[in-house]
Structure 1
Amino acid sequence: MKMNDTPAPLIPETAASTFAALGSEQRLAVMQALVRAGGGGLTIGVLGARCGITGSTLTHHLKILAAAGLVRQERQGRATICAADYTVVRQLSDYLLTNCCADCGTEGHDHG
Structure 2
Amino acid sequence: MESNNAIEVLAALAQSTRLDTFRLLVRHEPEGVPAGELARLLCVPQNTISAHLAILSRAGLIKGERHSRSIIYRAEIDTLRDLTLYLIKDCCGGSAELCAPLITALTPCSAPSAPENLQ
TM-score norm. by structure 1 comes to: 0.80
Whether the 8 Å contact between 2:92 and 2:98 is mirrored in structure 1 is no
Structure with greater contact order relative to length (CA < 8 Å, sep ≥ 6):
1
Q: Structure 2: which 5+ residue stretches go unaligned?
A: 106-119
Aligned residues: 102
- Highest CA radius of gyration, 1 or 2? 2
Partner of 1:39: 30
Instruction: Report the Cα offset of residue 105 of structure 1.
Output: 3.7
Instruction: Structure 1: give runs of 5+ residues left out of the alignment.
Output: 1-9
Matching residue's letter, 1:45: G
Q: Does 1:107 align with 2:97?
A: yes
Runs of 4+ in 1 over 6 A off after TM superposition: none
More helix by share: 2
Say what the alpha-carbon RMSD is for the aligned residues.
1.9
Normalised TM-score (structure 2): 0.76
Q: State, as a whole percentage, how many aligned pairs show the same letter.
A: 30
In structure 2, C-alpha distance between the alignment counterparts of 1:108 and 1:102, rounded to whole Å: 6
Q: Is the 2:56–2:62 contact (alpha carbons within 8 Å) kept by the matching residues of 1?
A: yes
